[in-house]
């Protein structure tokens, strides 16, 4: 039915969506571009349309802002670390879960439920877990380190604070990669694998030469979606470490939030946002083009 | 034969280890919520005398003052809970309705234009922190700050993309012939949409609705920036609770459990559709 659409359907499909998008998102996006070239701080008592132009000052300031660059680098490192660990864990787990065994159904339900929990609750769970009196130090690390475990204060040193964020993220999102890999691996035809077995291929060869190549498009989708999601990291940093100690676990989202909300430096926050946004929009556009328009589907 | 036993053994070890890793942190929060005040700091999992005191404290925080160095009085969880239900419920309904219309157009006639579809996907994939600043300025001018309406509109706008892509998958599977048959019988296009297609994709509406509910229920950053007193949602309340009363582990844990009840039930209901949902229908 790819004929000319009836008018009523065109209205129905376009008008509600566009009203919603323009009213809540497109106007603010336009406003952001304008704000980024101003020098405006609402604490000064003028409205944004009265604020003086700043030209490219906000942008040149961003390029010299060590806290911004550090947050950008830290967030990128966070993304690379968590996505690689989650990918390996998720794939291994999917590989082991693929065959039938007793208790498979309940294991599946349990494995994926961290995905449903609100991010704030995950942050809370690990905030409680890593407290000085919490089980991490007093039960689990005590077995390995003995009483020395008492001296670890997870949120007081920048390395351990960062590790705690990484652990929380891996805990919640490994199931995401697992889920996609699992659905991909279950779709690989059993006959293909049986045929390879008859021909004498080892389990390892089957995995590397048949299963993995067949789910390659899914690997790309899983990794890119996860990386984009991980790049947003805000909730766990805000709740667990508050970006601390100092600013040593401040993520990009947290820094922009602080510039805007705590320092009221709206026009600078808009400029920072714009820089990040342009970089990400190009990546996302390429990805959407690749996966939707070239039709990578399984 | 021995090789087979070893691989079976290995599989069980991997799965059990993973289940333990998933369950232990949650178990800690769960048991902590039922521990009485002296047991909050002790290193064992199961409380000697389980109590529901922590849940009462979450609703009646006046009794907290003076305990464990708590200085700030935190509001009861009642208002944030009602706000969350209201805002998330309304925005979910809105996103599903608009998503359905758009999905229908996209599935049957390739409308609407690529810009709208790309834009909805883009706003879902970008970090909320990168566009919350201008929304705050804009809402301040419209007097929508700290209002339910502002939050409802924003939430439905950033999740409508899931409504579109999940429902498009469902509508694609409805045979076009059925619609054409109805048209030949003299039905109008509107009637076809509401009387033929809509009833068939009912389960799609439920799946996309529950998934959108899940996402909006968890949303923190927008609510943190755009609300203050009146429209505070549950995630904002939790984040404030941790900041204001850092050492009150028991009530914090109780709050965590309270706010996970609905998501866990929803998650159980839509397990089978999670892959499709999380990947915008790119993976089925």
Place of tokens 């389980």: B50
Shared domain for B8 and B116, answered yes or no, is no
When CB atoms are compared, the residue of A118, A235, A260 closest to B259 is: A118
Same domain, yes or no: B53 and B88: no
Q: With the CA atoms of A115, A120, A126 and A127 taken in that order, what torsion angle do they form, in degrees rounded to the nearest 10?
A: 180
What total of structural domains would you count in chain B? Answer: 2
Do B181 and B268 sit in the same domain of this protein?
A: yes
Q: What is the mean pLDDT of residues B41-58?
A: 81
- B50 falls in which pLDDT band (50, 70, 90)? confident
B17 lies in the same domain as B120 = no
Question: Do the domain assignments include residue B139?
Answer: yes
Return the number of CB contacts < 8 Å for A and B: 315
Indicate yes or no: CB of A116 within 8 angstroms of CB of B263: yes
Tokens of B264: 């866990």
The residue among B137, B163, B193 with the most chain A CBs within 10 A of its CB, best to mutate, is: B137
The CATH number of the domain holding residue B233 is: 1.10.3720.10
Using the beta-carbon criterion (under 8 Å), do B105 and A12 form an inter-chain contact? yes
How far is the C-alpha of B126 from the C-alpha of B128, rounded, in Å? 6
Nearest to B239 among A97, A120, A135 (CB): A120
| Bridge partners for A53 per DSSP | A38
Confidence band of B64 (pLDDT split at 50, 70, 90): low
Nearest of B272, B100, B105, B178 to residue A14 by alpha carbon: B105
Collapsed DSSP state (helix, strand, coil) of residue A38: strand
Cα–Cα distances in angstroms (integers) from residue A39 to residues A30, A46, A47, in the given order: 17, 11, 11
Could you tell me the pLDDT band of residue B66, with boundaries at 50, 70 and 90? low
Percent of chain A surpassing pLDDT 70: 96
Each residue's pLDDT, cut to its tens digit, for chain A (298 residues) gives 456 678 888 888 888 998 999 999 999 999 999 999 988 888 777 788 878 888 888 899 989 999 999 999 999 999 999 999 999 999 999 999 888 888 888 888 899 889 999 999 999 999 988 888 778 877 777 777 777 777 778 888 889 999 999 999 999 999 999 999 998 888 888 888 889 888 888 888 888 888 888 888 888 888 988 999 999 999 999 998 888 788 889 999 999 999 998 888 899 999 999 999 888 888 888 887 777 665 544 4
Q: Is residue A298 part of a domain?
A: no
Cβ pair B111:A18 closer than 8 A: no
Structurally, how many domains does chain A consist of? 1
Whether residue B15 is found in the same domain as residue B152: no
Write out the residue range of the structural domain in which residue B57 sits: 2-65
Residue B70 lies in a domain: no
Is the pLDDT at B233 greater than 90? The verdict is yes
Name which residue leads in pLDDT, A28 or B51.
A28
Residue B40 belongs to some domain of the structure: yes
**pLDDT tens-digit readout, B120-176:** 888 888 899 999 999 999 999 999 999 999 999 999 999 999 999 899 989 988 888
CB contacts of B267 in chain A (<8 Å) are 112-113, 115-116
Residue A71 belongs to a domain: yes
Provide the residue range defining the domain that includes A180.
Answer: 65-293
Is A76 exposed, middle or buried (CB count within 10 Å of its CB: 0-12, 13-18, 19+)? middle
Query: What pLDDT does A258 receive?
Result: 93
Q: Do B136 and A260 touch (CB under 8 A)?
A: yes
Statement to judge: residues B137 and B267 lie in one domain: yes
Nearest to B29 by CA among A87, A46, A121: A121
Structure confidence at residue A6 (pLDDT): 81
Residues B183 and B44 in one domain: no
For residues A159 and A249, give the distance between their C-alpha atoms in angstroms, rounded to a whole number. Answer: 9
What are the chain A neighbours of B45 within 8 Å (beta carbons)? 135
Let me know if residue B283 belongs to a domain: no
pLDDT attached to residue B1: 64
The CATH number covering residue A92 comes to 1.10.3720.10
Name the residue of chain B whose CA is nearest to A238's CA: B239
Q: Does B58 share its domain with B86? A: no
CA dihedral B27, B33, B38, B43 (to 10 degrees): 10
Which residue in A165, A239, A122 sits closest to B241, CA to CA?
A239
Look at residue A234 and tell me if it is in a domain. yes
B284 within some domain: no
Single residue among B65, B95, B112 that ends a domain in this structure: B65
Of A164-173, B39-48, B176-185, B213-222, the least confident: B39-48
In a domain, A166, yes or no: yes
What pTM value is reported for the model? Answer: 0.90
What ipTM is given for this predicted complex? 0.89
pLDDT tens, residue by residue, A208-234:
888 888 888 888 888 988 999 999 999
pLDDT at B284: 67
**Residue A146 forms part of a structural domain:** yes
Helices (H), chain A: 7-21, 27-35, 57-64, 66-97, 104-112, 119-129, 135, 141-145, 158-187, 190-198, 203-205, 212-214, 216-231, 235-236, 252-257, 266-288
Considering only CA atoms, which of B274, B172, B166 is closest in space to residue B214? Answer: B274
pLDDT in tens, A33-59: 999 998 888 877 778 887 888 888 889
């Amino acid at each position: 039915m790819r004929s000319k659409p009836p008018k009523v359907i065109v209205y129905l499909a376009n008008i509600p969506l566009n009203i919603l998008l323009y009213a809540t998102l497109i106007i603010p996006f336009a406003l952001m571009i304008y704000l980024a070239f101003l020098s405006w701080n609402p604490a000064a008592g003028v409205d944004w349309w009265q604020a003086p132009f700043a030209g490219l000052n906000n942008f040149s300031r961003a390029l010299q802002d060590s806290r911004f660059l550090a947050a950008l680098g830290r967030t990128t490192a966070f993304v690379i670390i968590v996505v690689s660990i989650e990918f390996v864990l998720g794939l291994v787990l999917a590989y082991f879960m693929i065959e039938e065994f007793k208790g498979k159904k309940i294991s599946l339900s349990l494995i994926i439920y961290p995905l449903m929990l609100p991010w704030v609750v995950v942050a809370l769970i690990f905030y409680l877990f890593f407290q000085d009196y919490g089980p991490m130090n007093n039960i689990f690390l005590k077995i390995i380190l003995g009483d020395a475990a008492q001296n670890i204060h997870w949120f007081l040193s920048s390395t351990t604070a960062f590790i705690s964020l990484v652990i929380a993220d891996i805990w919640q999102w490994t199931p995401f990669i697992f889920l996609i890999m699992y659905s991909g691996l279950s779709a690989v035809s059993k006959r293909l694998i049986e045929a390879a077995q008859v021909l004498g291929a080892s389990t390892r060869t089957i995995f590397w030469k048949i299963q993995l190549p067949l789910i390659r498009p899914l690997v790309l989708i899983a990794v890119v979606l996860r990386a984009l999601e991980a790049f947003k990291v805000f909730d766990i940093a805000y709740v667990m470490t508050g970006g601390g100690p100092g600013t040593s676990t401040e993520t990009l989202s947290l820094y922009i939030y602080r510039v805007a909300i705590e320092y009221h430096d709206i026009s600078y926050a808009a400029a920072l946002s714009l820089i990040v946004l342009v970089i990400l929009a190009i990546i996302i556009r390429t990805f959407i083009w690749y996966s939707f328009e070239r039709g990578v589907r399984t | 034969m021995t090789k087979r036993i070893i691989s079976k053994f290995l599989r069980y070890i991997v799965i059990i280890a993973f289940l333990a890793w998933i369950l232990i942190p949650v178990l800690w929060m769960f048991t902590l919520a039922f521990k009485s005040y002296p047991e909050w700091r002790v290193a064992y999992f199961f409380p000697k005398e389980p109590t529901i005191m922590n849940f009462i404290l979450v609703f009646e925080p006046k009794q907290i003052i003076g305990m464990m160095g708590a200085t700030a009085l935190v509001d009861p969880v009642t208002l944030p809970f009602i706000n969350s239900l209201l805002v998330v419920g309304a925005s979910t309904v809105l996103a599903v309705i608009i998503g359905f219309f758009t999905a229908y157009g996209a599935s049957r006639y390739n409308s609407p234009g690529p810009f709208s579809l790309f834009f909805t996907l883009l706003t879902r994939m970008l970090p909320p922190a990168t566009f919350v600043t201008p929304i705050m300025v804009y809402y301040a001018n419209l007097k929508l700050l700290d209002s339910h309406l502002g939050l409802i509109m924003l939430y439905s706008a950033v999740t409508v993309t899931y409504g579109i892509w999940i429902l498009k998958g469902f509508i694609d599977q409805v045979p076009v012939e059925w619609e054409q048959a109805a048209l030949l019988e003299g039905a109008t296009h509107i009637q076809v949409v509401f009387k033929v297609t809509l009833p068939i994709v009912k389960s799609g509406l439920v799946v996309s609705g529950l998934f959108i509910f899940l996402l909006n229920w968890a949303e923190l950053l927008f609510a943190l920036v755009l609300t203050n007193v009146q429209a505070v949602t549950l995630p904002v309340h939790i984040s404030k609770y941790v900041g204001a009363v850092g050492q009150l582990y028991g009530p914090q844990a109780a709050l965590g459990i309270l706010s996970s009840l609905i998501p866990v039930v929803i998650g159980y209901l839509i397990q089978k559709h999670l892959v499709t949902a999380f990947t915008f229908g790119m993976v089925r």
